[in-house]
Structure 1
Amino acid sequence: MNDQHHGEAAPSRALTEGGTGLSRIGDYYSATQLRADRWSSLRDIAEELRLHGAEGRRGRKRLTEAEELIDALAPIESYWAFPGASAFAYMRRLLEQRKIHDFSQAVRRAARALISGAYRRRTIQLTVEDTENEDFQDEIALSPDARALGRPYFEVLIVDDLNDHQERWLRQSLQQVRRPEDAFVYEAVIVPSLEDALIGILFNHNVQAVVVRPGLTLKSLNDVEILNKYLRRASEDEDVDGLHPDEYGPETCRLVHKIRPELDTYLVTDRSAETIAAMDLGGCRRVFYNQEDFLELHLNILRGVNSRFKSPFFTALKEYSKQPTGVFHAMPISRGKSISRSHWIQDMGAFYGPNIFLAETSATSGGLDSLLEPRGPIKKAQEYAARAFGSKQTFFATNGTSTCNKIVVQALIRPGDIVLVDRDCHKSHHYGMVLAGANVVYMDSYPLHQHSMYGAVPMREIKHKLLELKADDKLDRVRMVLLTNCTFDGLIYNVERVMEECLAIKKDLVFLWDEAWFAFARFNPAFRQRTAMANAANLRQTLRTPERKREWEAQQERLKDADDETLLNTRLIAPPDARVRVYATQSTHKTLTSLRQGSMIHVYDQDFKGETEQAFHEAYMTHTSTSPNYQIIASLDVGRRQVELEGYEFVQRQIESAMSLRRAIGTHPLLCKYFKVLTLADMIPAEYRESGVESYYDSKRGWQDSWDNWATDEFVLDPTKVTLAVGGTGWDGDTFKTQILMDKHGIQINKTSRNSVLFMTNIGTTRSSIAYLIEVLVSIARDLDDLLDDASKMERRSFDARVKSLVEQVPPLPDFSRFHPAFRGGQTPEGDIRSAFFLAYDEDNCDYLDLDQALREKLDSGEELVSASFIIPYPPGFPILVPGQVISREILTFMRALDVSEIHGYRPDLGLRVFTSEALARVENAKS
């Protein structure tokens, strides 16, 4: 799209550059934060004007600031239903007429309603006469029961270029068809153009439906840079300037669906049904032909929102809890009887409340369902989840993504199949390989030695392993590629590129993407383009096109006699007959609303019905409890409902919180002395950043509008994860996490490395929690300043030495060495991890060697030592040794340099567990 806009004048210099002491627009990452702070500032200034008047130098200055704020808010408020155009115009008139008391009252109530969300529950009166006797109660002050009884509120974006009279008529027409029995209440936002519609759906998170009418235009007249960022992100790969006016409406529907597929769209048109039927309308729910049937439109809008609001299993569980039931099955806790009759555990009942026990049962009838054989509300809930997350099938799990990973691996992998695995993936994958009997090819991620963490597996490494297996005629045994997207540290793959280039080498590969930390990604346009399910759907569609077939044929001709090096350096194209077989496992409980261990398996597999379904259900039965927790299932159902209706809003706020944290740390002079937020350039080497983008925020250049790199770069960084280098404090990551953040300040985090800690924002993160974290970091930095100021020369030398050991003397990360020949079947790198794992069950096959002396002596003498266990230092939490792996000097050096609280699989009292040379010889002899 063309980025040139015309019409209104640009905001005043004072507003854009902070001329009157207001914070600069450039300080804000998003327009929603800007809007909230502008209303807060306007409220404070209006109150000061009311108390001290508008006379004198101070009063005139405040009047100028109020006028500038009104001017700044005017274009922003055109995309929101509250306070709305008429109310905003009313406040502007009050200011112009110098009715300061009335102006202050109106602004105060509008700002308070926006902050509290009260406008969602009732009409907010802004005039003094209407509010004198009104009991104003904040939304956040209401009890959960009172909030649950209210009708949910949303906004409908209507796209039509109307004059004031037509707009009033349209609003009145929609008001008149409202009914007391309506399940929801909504207000209309009217914008004139296709571009304004795109800004509106990205800026206004209250929008749940879009109505496109025939009178819309193409271009927006807004000239606010922070809003135009939304437009650029939405339309970067679209060119609509050549559209005929008759195409504006259908194109708006298509683009809305592409950007926010969860929204309902409705097209009002006077074009023929045949013409409309041939056009791409995205997910348009209904087309209205040249009529003004507002009741029908109203009912369709409510029906569309209700289809997402339904939570079949949660509803069934609530209904079950209300039934008078005699319990003659397992579970004494069911209906709470074992608690209510107890003299000693009444505190448990008081803590949890009655509903959790009323809804606890082992029954699968009475309106409920079986997770193992769902036919009722659980089946419906899983179907709704598939719709929400873009999969063909979705399955719920009540014992975490670790189990989901094992289910998928067992369903798809047979003993002897070769699987390419990200070596530093979650340990459940490694154990899954043992259970399935896979021959594992471990792929190395690029190392970030300075920060003691791994990145992600480069495309070149994946292709190299596949081509190596192809050269040894083992490609037919290669079954799956397994990668983590996104990693714990926030590194995200170019999913479509990985799958397409791998399919170009072997066209029936299966992909398992561990998206444990990425369940929220579906509900943001930029993140969605890097998710497994979205790319599976896109790739399947792309492979069907004639253009792709021609591109593939042309590339095949060019690469007819190409060597491996040429193939490694070429962006390969998948053949048109490649099969799209993609699985994603997600920890819903980690990044969305779900009780602990609530997870989902999403499937987009063209061969699922014909090849995998039975095996999948057998694996599901193997690993799923016959007594699953119904509360977890209900929370998965409700969590899906939430993200379909407000996932975009919550994810956007999550991103904003993380960006605010980046800016606060990067611009605070005291924090910069001891801390550093790792940037894209720190986390992703330049060779994997085609765009050249280095950071989200730079203290000198400000915000980098860098979402373009999500479409091009091999890896991108999840902005919601903020890795903070803490080596400058003299504390290692684990000490900083436990003794400083947790013990002293009550701040909990999950992941650390030797010299960093990871702060993860989530959909529950508030601006207050970010502010508290900044306060804590500043307090820590001040304490360090005081400590060093009072330190003796020797104490200062000790501090500097600790910092140097953490920042400069970091042990290099070891690569995967290799499997011992006893567990390999040739020259290629795959290893039989299962046989190695079970060989260690016999103690006579194993020995323990002291890490500091015995191991080193044997390595120095040239003896080959092989691990009999998984060795997992925590942190960082990935296995540096797996059963059957040869112990290299680099691994031993790394282990000796580790300063961590625990190493899983290693016994300090005995040493490292290794196979005896006799055991290895017996295995090798048996193979020969």
Structure 2
Amino acid sequence: MNVQKPGTDLPSISDYYSATQLRADRWSALRECAESLQIHGTEGRQGKRLLESARALLDALAPIEKYWAFPGSHSFEHLRRMLEARNIDDLVVSVRRVARALTSGAYRRRSIPLSTEEIDNEDFEDESALAPEDRALGRPYFEVLIVDNVNDHQERFLRNNLHRMRRAEDSFIYEAVVVPSLEDALMGILFNHNVQAVIVRPGLTLKSKNELPIVQQYLNHLTVTEDMDAIEPHEYGPEACRLIAKVRPELDAYLITDRSAEDIAGMDLGKCRRVFYNQEDFLELHLNILRGVNRRYKTPFFTALKEYSKQPTGVFHAMPISRGKSISRSHWIQDMGAFYGPNIFLAETSATSGGLDSLLEPKGTIKEAQDMAARAFGSKQTFFATNGTSTCNKIVVQALIRPGDIVLVDRDCHKSHHYGMVLAGANVCYMDSYPLHEFSMYGAVPIHEIKHTLLKMKAAGKLDRVRMVLLTNCTFDGLVYNVERVMEECLAIKPDLVFLWDEAWFAFARFGPTYRQRTAMDVANRLREKLKSEKHAEAYAAQQEALKDATEETLLKTRLLPPPTARVRAYATQSTHKTLTALRQGSMIHVNDMDFKGEVEQAFHEAYMTHTSTSPNYQIIASLDVGRRQVELEGFEFVQRQIESAMAIRRAVATHPLLSKYFKVLTAGDMIPEQYRESGVTSYFDAKDGWSDKSEIWAKDEFVLDPTRVTLAVGGTGWDGDTFKTKVLMDKYGIQINKTSRNSVLFMTNIGTTRSSVAYLIEVLVEIANDLDDLLDDASKMERRSFEKRVKNLIEDVPPLPDFSRFHDAFRSGGETAEGDIRSAFFLAYEEENCDYLDLDDALMKRLEDGEELVSASFIIPYPPGFPILVPGQVMSPEILHFMRALDVSEIHGYRPDLGLRVFTPKALKSLKKKS
């Protein structure tokens, strides 16, 4: 099956990252092959070669099509029979209709006749090209997976009975696809993104007969944690429901069983919505399927806002723009009304009645929308925010941190966390991420560093003051923590520790099965269950006995287990607008805190009131509601396509000889040191060995690389990252990115990225490489030497990244631990007489090298790379100054070249010391 198909230019099956890409390309190739057969006939050398190609393409598609309702396995076999009967004219018509319907999405809107006896005069317009109003009029389409090992007659019976239940008033329309086994069911829901409901019947078997590797790979991530062979036959149905919930928790499952209610009641059925006994009632089953999908489809606030916009109202409150009156009566701003259209103004209001709600005190539609978001994202409570995740971070920090509390913070986290610590009066203990000097970026904070910091606090008698660990997951550059390991080992040292996971760039992760296991909410839910189990209690007791007199070195090397009494306290802040469908600044706070109700709720409410506008934008709130609907119904599909797009870029750069000459996609081996990659895997794709198994990497490694983020090393072009971004990508080709380092640029795929966008990017990179080749071919010796010098400067002569030095003693409460009072330092700088400015020159370097203590009075943030190298109260080091002087970026936030570095005067530091 992996052999190159004769007569085609397609890669072999093993070259494809996903079966979805394979399916699309093979149908397109089959259409071209059938049309060629129609022209050249089936005789002669060329005809026989085309016939062999068509058979090979059908063979490649056969094990894939069994998981899709359209065109369906029976129609697919009919195509094969037409080929063998040499009925090429009819085959061309049928294949052309299938290929066009799959490409355009027409099968979702109407029945597609495949027989030439049925006329199909309707246009196969691309679904995405239809006007939103036209698409909104149609009924959404989905597919139902039936799991039962039945013969063809029984399969038709099941399909026909469900089909007969359809009614004109149904809100949705669906088709059924039948698979025989539990493994086929799991492969089906991981492969077929149209599936929204699964019916598990008593006749299912365990093993799949589908041996196509690209389809079997969908089971790989389960085999890491599940022993499929250990499942007993009487457990097949309940286990199918449980595993479906584990893999895709958003789906509705329905179990049909002939076992007694008593037997079923005590079993783990995952999120099974209904159990039907003996013979199912097809009408009741049909209604439940529609009801389950509608439960996710509902958007309470968005619907209320649409209804409000239709009501005739008299506006006698704030907002002249409400109902668009101030625009429609204007002679000068009609272009604004024409640009945005009427609906946005009809829905603008400051009212909280009439079906609407208050974001600050939600009791109606906003409350319902937030509860639905909590269900979708796996949290216990979810709160909407219209001021971005910067505000979310400050809300959580203020709600949980009291003045004097110690917070362990990832030093290169988003600046909102640093400012949040200032507002809360926290004593900040910065932890250093491992550096990537070669690429001028930081990685992430190793668990060894976190545990070491906690154990030092314990030894110093300060563990009771340690309140929170704050980490960025995933980082801007795509490094993802092993969240479960971090939380477990930290709770083993301090059982009531609070975790704030900044998931600003990770909202989409909930809807990819591999990603989900490393999200804060999923880990919190699993950890809650784990701590209740007897197995864990026994393991904890045994470890405690073994570690009775353990040294710190032993504790650092041991995978520590939390006590069964530990409190699971996790918060995640997400920029919904960054990675999912929401308007700018639409964000969410997800809470999974066992002590939220008793300890935090009131403080959280006050913090929320402090930072949330009393005039929130209703359009942003509505977009969060709709964005939640989308990811519950099609987030899985969109995330899969997002990953596929990024993997296509990786493969193109690695295999194209000209691209690999000037560019390199940074791999896990480049961005994650070997000691943090237990799997030993260095990259997702290798030009020689092909694709790696992502499941093993994500299950084992301390850090993994988010494949949707493609960091492209561009030092080989002679351009630094910022120049390549602005002068080349943006100005010349209109390609937008927002993250660079000294010698790299970051391309982030998202749920809106298309294969055409990826093709355009690759085309642009090839053109850039061609231009460089031409330039160097015609270059003089001196010009070539100049180019080589620039490349060397970007790739080899890179300034080392400095570590966090320390807080000055004036801002510390004790010398044995590293925390500092950042709030005092921040506000001390408000008085101008407390500060001085120093030129960034050799004289300043000499003063530092001679041991003089100079203390920063402000945040100093070079951009790129965008992390703070100095914070208020931090002692400057020669390494930090050397790094600043070596920077060639145009922006250094907090630094004024005309004045110099802002530092505290010795007198200010001395007076503060006296006060303390």
TM range (shorter): over 0.9
Alignment equivalent of 1:202, drawn from 177, 180, 190: 190
Which of 548, 551, 559 pairs up with 2:539? 551
Instruction: Tell me the number of residue pairs that the alignment of Structure 1 and Structure 2 aligns.
Output: 915
**One-letter amino acid matched to 2:574:** Q
Which AA in structure 2 matches 1:858? Answer: R
User: Using the alignment, how far apart are the partners of 1:288 and 1:126 within structure 2?
Assistant: 36
Q: Which residue of 2 aligns with 1:875?
A: 864
Match of 1:887 among 872, 876, 885: 876
1:743 to 726, 731, 746: 731
Q: 1:465 aligns with which of 424, 448, 453?
A: 453
Deviation at 1:21, TM superposition (A): 4.3
| Residue correspondence of structure 1 range 647-662 to structure 2 within 5 A | 647-662=635-650
CA distance in 2, matches of 1:476, 1:133: 74
Query: Which stretches in structure 2 are left out of the alignment for 5+ residues?
Result: none
Task: Note the alpha carbon deviations across 1:688-718, whole angstroms, 9 max, x for none.
Answer: 0111011000001011113212111110000
CA positional deviation for 1:45: 1.1
Q: Which among 828, 841, 846 is matched to residue 839 of structure 1?
A: 828
RMSD: 1.1
8 A Cα contact 2:7 2:49, kept in partner: no
- Can you list the C-alpha shifts for 1:567-600, whole angstroms capped at 9, x where unaligned? 1111111011010000000000000000000000
Deviations 1:64-122 (A, max 9, x none): 11111111111110000000122112211211111111100100010000011000000
Give the equivalent residue in structure 2 for 1:37. Answer: 25
Q: In the alignment, which residue of structure 2 is the partner of 1:630?
A: 618
**Which deviates further from its counterpart, 857-866 or 627-636?**
857-866
Cα deviation 1:794-828 (Å, max 9, x = unaligned): 11111101000100000000000000000001111
AA partner of residue 163 (structure 1): N
Distance in 2 between residues matched to 1:353 and 1:21, nearest whole Å: 47
Structure 1 Cα separation of the partners of residues 8 and 158 of structure 2: 40
Q: 1:147 aligns with which of 135, 143, 151?
A: 135
* Distance across 1 between alignment mates of 2:344 and 2:552: 60
Q: Which residue of 2 aligns with 1:803?
A: 791
CA distance in 1, matches of 2:464, 2:210: 58
CA contact (8 A) 2:101 2:124 kept: no
- Deviation of 1:751 after TM superposition, in Å, equals 0.4
- Give 3-state SS (helix, strand or coil) of 1:190's partner: strand
Give the Cα–Cα distance (whole angstroms) in 2 for the partners of residues 515 and 136 of structure 1. 40
The aligned counterpart of 1:404 is 392
Change (3 A) 1:778 1:21: closer
User: For residues 904 and 732 of structure 1, what CA distance do their matches in structure 2 show?
Assistant: 19
SS at match of 2:468: strand
- Residue in structure 1 matched with residue 756 of structure 2 by the alignment: 768
TM-score (norm 2): 0.99
- Contact 2:299–2:626 (CA under 8 A) maintained in structure 1: yes
Matches within 5 A, 1:21-36: 21-36=9-24
- CA offsets, 1:849-893, max 9 Å, x none? 001244224224431100000000011111000000000000000
Q: Is the 8 A contact 1:155 1:208 kept in 2?
A: yes
User: How big is the shift at 1:13?
Assistant: 4.2
AA partner of residue 575 (structure 1): P
User: Identity of paired residues, percent?
Assistant: 78
Letter in 1 for 2:864: P
Match in the other structure for 2:852: 863
Report whether the alignment pairs 1:158 with 2:142.
Answer: no
What stretches of structure 1 of length at least 5 have no aligned partner? Answer: 1-10
Distance 1:893 1:149, change over 3 A: same
SS of the residue 2:518 aligns to: coil
Cα distance change, pair 857–884 in 1 and its aligned pair in 2 (3 A): same
Aligned counterpart in structure 1 of residue 359 of structure 2, from 355, 363, 371: 371
- Kept in 2, the 8 Å contact 1:198–1:234? The answer is no
Question: Matched residue of 2:805: which SS?
Answer: coil
Cα separation, 2, equivalents of 1:664 and 1:561: 54
Alpha carbons 2:667, 2:683 under 8 Å: kept: yes
Counterpart position of 1:779: 767
> For residues 483 and 282 of structure 1, what CA distance do their matches in structure 2 show?
31
Q: Residue 80 of structure 2 aligns to a residue in which SS?
A: helix
Question: In the alignment, does 2:436 pair up with 1:448?
Answer: yes
| CA deviation profile, 1:161-195 (whole Å, cap 9, x unmatched) | 11111111111111111100000000001000001
Question: Bigger shift: 493-502 or 848-857?
Answer: 848-857
Matches within 5 A, 1:346-425: 346-425=334-413
SS in 2 for 1:285: strand
- What is aligned with 2:518? 530
Q: CA 1:851–1:12 in 2, change beyond 3 Å: closer, same or farther?
A: closer
CA-CA distance at 1:14 after TM superposition: 4.8
> For the residues of structure 1 that align with 2:303 and 2:713, how far apart are their CA atoms?
46
Q: Distance in 2 between matches of 1:664 and 1:926?
A: 62
- Cα deviation, residue 142, structure 1: 2.0
Whole-Å separation in 1 of the counterparts to 2:377 and 2:115: 45
Q: What is aligned with 1:183?
A: 171
Question: Which SS does the other structure have where 1:125 is aligned?
Answer: coil
Answer whether contact 2:302 2:622 (CA < 8 A) is retained. Answer: yes
Q: Does 1:727 align with 2:678?
A: no
Of stretches 63-72 and 388-397 in structure 1, the one that deviates more from structure 2 is 63-72
Structure 1 range deviating more: 848-857 or 390-399:
848-857
**Residue 910 of structure 2 corresponds to residue 924 of structure 1:** no
* AA in 2 matched with 1:383: D
Task: Please state whether the residue corresponding to 1:129 is helix, strand or coil.
Answer: coil
Aligned partner of residue 841 in structure 2, secondary structure: coil
* Inter-partner Cα distance in structure 2 for 1:132 and 1:248: 43
Q: In the superposition, relative to structure 1, how do residues 720 and 136 fare at CA in structure 2: closer, same or farther (>3 Å)? A: closer
Asked if 1:646 corresponds to 2:634, the answer is yes
User: Taking structure 1 as reference, are residues 132 and 502 closer, same or farther at Cα in structure 2, changes over 3 Å only?
Assistant: closer
Q: 1: CA distance between counterparts of 2:413 and 2:358?
A: 32
CA contact (8 A) 1:734 1:901 kept: no
Is the contact made by 1:693 and 1:706 (CA closer than 8 Å) also made in structure 2? no
Cα shift readout 1:248-300 (whole Å, capped 9, x = no counterpart): 11110111011100000000000000000011110000000001310000000
Q: Tell me if structure 2 keeps the 8 A contact 1:155–1:187.
A: yes
2:65 match: 77
- When residues 613 and 145 of structure 1 are mapped into structure 2, their CA distance, relative to the original with a 3 A threshold, is same
Equivalent of residue 897 in structure 1, options 879, 886, 889: 886
Q: Which residue of 2 aligns with 1:602?
A: 590
**Partner Cα distance (2:321, 2:731) in 1:** 35
Question: Which residue is 2:837 aligned to?
Answer: 848
- Given that 2:662 and 2:769 are in contact with CA atoms closer than 8 Å, whether structure 1 keeps it comes out as yes
Displacement, 1:243?
A: 2.8
Partner of 1:128: 116
- Is 2:500–2:571's contact at 8 Å kept on the other side of the alignment? yes
Native 8 Å contact 1:455 1:491 kept in 2: yes
Query: What's the counterpart of residue 581 of structure 2?
Result: 593
Question: 1:716 maps to which residue?
Answer: 704
Is residue 196 of structure 2 the alignment partner of residue 230 of structure 1? Answer: no
Equivalent residue runs for 1:40-59 within 5 Å: 40-59=28-47
**In the alignment, structure 1 residue 909 sits paired with structure 2 residue 898:** yes
Alpha-carbon distance, 1:332 to partner: 0.6
Give me the TM-score of the superposition, normalised by structure 1. 0.98
SS at 2:899 equivalent: coil
Cα drift, residue 19 of structure 1: 8.1
Instruction: State how far apart, in whole Å, the 2-side matches of 1:794 and 1:516 are.
Output: 47
Deviation string, structure 1 residues 449-479 (Cα, Å, up to 9, x no partner): 0000000000010011111111111111000
Rounded Cα–Cα distance in structure 1 between residues aligned with 2:230 and 2:222: 17
Q: Deviations over 1:429-448 (max 9, x none)?
A: 00000000000000000000
Change (3 A) 1:76 1:625: same
Q: Is residue 496 from structure 1 mapped to residue 484 from structure 2 by the alignment?
A: yes
Alignment check: 8 A CA contact 2:729 2:735 kept: yes
- Whole-angstrom CA distance in 2 between matches of 1:174 and 1:276: 25
Structure 1 partner of 2:567: 579
Matched, 1:307 2:311: no
